[in-house]
Structure 1
Amino acid sequence: MAQLEEKVRSFAEELFKIGAIKIGEYVTKMNIPTPIYIDLRLIVSFPKLIELVSDIMIEYLKQIPKFDIICGVPYAALPLASALSMKLNIPMVMRRKESKSYGMRKMIEGVYKEGDRCLIIEDVVTSGSSIIETLEDLNEVGIHCSHALILMDRQQGGTNNLIKEGVTMHSLLNMTHLLKYLREANYIDDSTVNKVTNYMLTTQVDLSSNSIPSLNRLKLPYEERIAYAKNNRAQELFKIMSEKRTNLCVAADVTKSDELISLANQTGPYICLFKTHIDILEDFNIDVVEALKKIAEKHNFLLFEDRKFSDIGKTVQMQYSNGMYKILSWANVVTAHSLAGAGMLDAIKHGNNGVFLLAEISTSGSIIDKNYTEKTVKLALQYPDLVTGIVCQNPLFTSEPGFIQLTPGVQLDVEGDGLGQKYNTPDVVIGNGADIAVVGRGITKSSEPNVAAEKYRSLLWGAYLKRIE
């Protein structure tokens, strides 16, 4: 046992050395603020560490009843499950996070039979919700699971939550032992130990009582939401919005380059986003976007091409990167339909840019239904590092403060344009969850766009302050 404990101690210290354990202010998957963040996905880049941890796992298996197959919780635990499967020569199955849209649409991949006993492998457990989701999909195909082997137990309720589901959790490390080992190695001090220990005791998650701490983005100030955003452009937008005190996006639907540049100059001081349909310009040339980039830098706003990508991945990739508009080279964020699925998003995942996915539109008679909207939000949650936010009319994701709700169709004292476009007032759209409101003709058709932009900025910001208060 002493030899096993030394291996576990060594494992804990190695995790700290590779940066898999971070001390600071972070947020867990459950949207719970935490003074310690544990990212065991980094292990995949250290073969010797995988070797060490798989050896420790094999030692722990001596206290676990016999099993027929192994399943790693997607995605962080998959390398661990694979290593264990190969070392023990025991088959592995793989659970998908979403079913395929083609073929047999299975959630569980691999060879198995009804009645197989499965050991679930996970990296870090807070509430145990990811293991429970995996358990449900395995049970659905007749696979039985009563034990889970995990690397790190954060000691925040996961053990009890899993017991209620009939699963016994076995952990290589828990937070108490991790803090002990790191303190003895002088990687952390006593104040850190006390802070994290107190945090563990006061932040317990009971899934059965619906007591999961939840953050309502509608009540959080923009500056506080920066920490929750995984997409760089979302972080940048929150920062701009806070500093400039604006949640206004102008829709620059004009057909002449000079008019577009003039509009950017006049409205720039009052906006966070400048939205274009670059392909409606009758006199487009690449100098136009170079001018826009300089104006955006001067007035501190982002360029937003409302391209609404929706095609197979390769076509979207060429539309985004190539052609006369070269959108990738200048647009900070773009729009896309979710219709083409994950392949389309993979095709436009470049650099620091962001995507707004369209879940709802402000046109009467739209055939977008509730099912499409829900699937769009679900797809966005699978790409938090790429998706800046969601275009919608209603608060579809109140517990995801890192995403931005962008709502078009804002205008004062006008109900529609006779072509299906419906308009709402600033108070209505902000009250319905908009973080950024898009104003088009209310500004572009004004004789003084700068004055109109300042008016909308003031009204929208006032509505936002009212909402968070």
Structure 2
Amino acid sequence: MNSIEQKINSLVVDLYKVGALKFGDFKMKVGINSPVYVDLRVLVSHPKVLENLSLLAWECAEPHVKGDHICGVPYNALSMATIISVRHNIPMLIRRKEAKKYGTKKLVEGQFKVGDTCVIIEDIVTSGSSIMETVKDLESEGLKVAGAVIIVDRGQGGMKNLAENGINAHSMLTLTKMMQILCDEGFIDKTVVSAMDKYLKESQISIPLTLDFHHCQVNRLKMSYGERANVATSPVGRSLLQLMETKKTNLCVAVDVGSAENLLSIASQIGPYICLLKTHADAVGDFCEETAKSLEKISIQENFMIMEDRKFSDIGHTVALQYNHGPLRIAKWAHFITCHAIAGPGSVSALKSAADDQPRGCFLVAEMSSEGNLITSTYTKETVSIAETHSTFVAGLVSQSDVTTTLPGLIQLTPGVRLSSGTSDGMGQQWVTPEEAVLKRGADVVVVGRGITESQNIKEAAKLYQSKLWAAYQTRVRSG
């Protein structure tokens, strides 16, 4: 065994000992369970292991990739890139997830010249989409990407996707190799290795060739949810699309009830059939921290996500307080919130900051289903523009028509759906059928409320809507 192999073996054992490798039964972003979870974020609390890992990864890749600069994929790889930069005296660049709206308005921070080369540093690769997004941003600033240095390749198709898209990538470790080292060292047994191999075979991810990850001129309505997950720039939006693909549901149920007991009872009944549950927590008279925890527990058990339909519409400072403070503490338990664009992009930026690095996302209200609403086509167009500019946090749009034109990763959420169309509740709500919402209006996620929650058999109603909506989606994709 040579020196590099010895260092790698020792490093893998260190990662295991500090808790960067966890074994059990973990729900992954791709929607299925994995017997192993790699979490390199814990290394910020173990600086020596972080330093060893970063420098060893560079030592393994340096003969194959060289550049004028290095750039860590935000956010976890930034610390690794910083260590490499300082130790080897290589100028570092920082790629923002979105350009600043003030000052220099830069997307890439640091000093460089057009034509300079850059090596990307990434911690873990699954599909490779985060590296491709970084490539696009660096190239948009006139830089040339010389390659990518990756700590761990999960073995789910990411390296193949990068190679097919012309990116010279080198990984220090594969998940398979890590498991074998730990097995050889006696930390895990062969059954764990076998379970992991089975998981990897069932969770391969491919990315279409030559797909422009920022402004794809493709028809999102003809793409599968899985394909769109690969180009979604909102991490939590990507998770929702992957969940929809694997669970085979595009149903969201609006559970607008007055008591926590009723909310949780309905959530348990509809859980197997939905991808998203939409709440109005301020309408639940006894909503409290325990209600939120119970709802979270059900969402994990039944594999769905939660949206609080708060429709924020104030200045940034105010919405940040409403989101992360007060009696509801929405940021703590809701994967998504809704927001009007009336106050401008500042409110979106404030909500993103208030999320405090939790996996959270926002849906901007571009259109409404209520009769006589005051939203104009100009307002809708400006809302779409804000969504596209802030697409790392904005996961999608609430709309009644296909308003997204450039980012297929944005999700269209359409409310106001019932089995029979052309009806009204007498208070302005107008309904369309599931088929009309998906096939004619471009809905990705369809919101059904009272058509399910006021049904005599809530579970069967949810099952029926899920079946009809998924069939409509399959028809839409097949027609392409």
TM-score, L = length of structure 1: 0.67
What displacement does 1:170 show? 2.3
1:423 aligns with 2:413: no
Q: Paired residue for 2:254?
A: 249
Q: Paired residue for 1:222?
A: none
Q: Paired residue for 1:314?
A: 317
What displacement does 1:274 show? 6.3
What displacement does 1:275 show? 3.5
Give the counterpart of 2:415 among 387, 407, 430: 407
What displacement does 1:327 show? 4.6
Amino acid at match of 1:464: Q
Whole-angstrom distance in 1 between the partners of 2:289 and 2:66: 65
Identity of aligned residues (%): 32
Compare 63-72 and 26-35 and name the one that shifted more.
Answer: 26-35
What displacement does 1:60 show? 2.6
Against the structure 1 CA distance between its residues 19 and 419, is the aligned structure 2 distance closer, same or farther, given a 3 Å change threshold?
A: same
Describe how 1:111-190 pairs up with structure 2 within 5 A.
Answer: 111-190=111-190
Q: Paired residue for 2:464?
A: 462
In the alignment, structure 1 segments of 5+ residues that lack a partner are 218-224, 235-241, 253-259, 279-287, 444-449
8 A contact 1:96–1:109 mirrored in 2: yes
Q: Paired residue for 2:49?
A: 49
Q: Paired residue for 1:237?
A: none
1:63 is paired with a residue whose SS is coil
Against the structure 1 CA distance between its residues 454 and 107, is the aligned structure 2 distance closer, same or farther, given a 3 Å change threshold?
A: same
8 A contact 2:254–2:278 mirrored in 1: yes
1:197 is paired with a residue whose SS is helix
Whole-angstrom distance in 1 between the partners of 2:92 and 2:322: 40
1:372 is paired with a residue whose SS is helix
Q: Paired residue for 1:382?
A: 393
In the alignment, structure 2 segments of 5+ residues that lack a partner are 212-222, 229-235, 244-248, 268-276, 300-305, 472-480
Whole-angstrom distance in 2 between the partners of 1:311 and 1:181: 54
Q: Paired residue for 1:447?
A: none
Instruction: Count residues in correspondence.
Output: 414
Q: Paired residue for 1:446?
A: none
Describe how 1:357-396 pairs up with structure 2 within 5 A.
Answer: 357-363=364-370, 366-367=375-376, 368-369=379-380, 372-373=383-384, 376=387, 382=393, 391-393=398-400
Against the structure 1 CA distance between its residues 21 and 360, is the aligned structure 2 distance closer, same or farther, given a 3 Å change threshold?
A: farther
Against the structure 1 CA distance between its residues 183 and 70, is the aligned structure 2 distance closer, same or farther, given a 3 Å change threshold?
A: same
Whole-angstrom distance in 1 between the partners of 2:278 and 2:159: 46
Whole-angstrom distance in 2 between the partners of 1:54 and 1:295: 41
Against the structure 1 CA distance between its residues 52 and 295, is the aligned structure 2 distance closer, same or farther, given a 3 Å change threshold?
A: closer
What displacement does 1:415 show? 4.1
8 A contact 2:65–2:119 mirrored in 1: no
Against the structure 1 CA distance between its residues 426 and 54, is the aligned structure 2 distance closer, same or farther, given a 3 Å change threshold?
A: closer
8 A contact 1:70–1:93 mirrored in 2: yes
Note the aligned Cα RMSD (angstroms).
5.2
Whole-angstrom distance in 2 between the partners of 1:353 and 1:143: 31
What displacement does 1:293 show? 5.8
What displacement does 1:360 show? 3.8
TM-score, L = length of structure 2: 0.66
What displacement does 1:376 show? 3.8
8 A contact 2:20–2:42 mirrored in 1: yes
1:362 is paired with a residue whose SS is coil
8 A contact 1:50–1:80 mirrored in 2: yes
Against the structure 1 CA distance between its residues 132 and 247, is the aligned structure 2 distance closer, same or farther, given a 3 Å change threshold?
A: closer
Q: Paired residue for 1:8?
A: 8
What displacement does 1:121 show? 0.8
8 A contact 1:332–1:354 mirrored in 2: no
Whole-angstrom distance in 1 between the partners of 2:185 and 2:463: 50
1:195 aligns with 2:199: no
Q: Who wins on radius of gyration, i.e. which is larger?
A: 1
Whole-angstrom distance in 2 between the partners of 1:173 and 1:352: 26
Q: Paired residue for 1:336?
A: 339
Amino acid at match of 2:9: R
1:438 aligns with 2:464: no
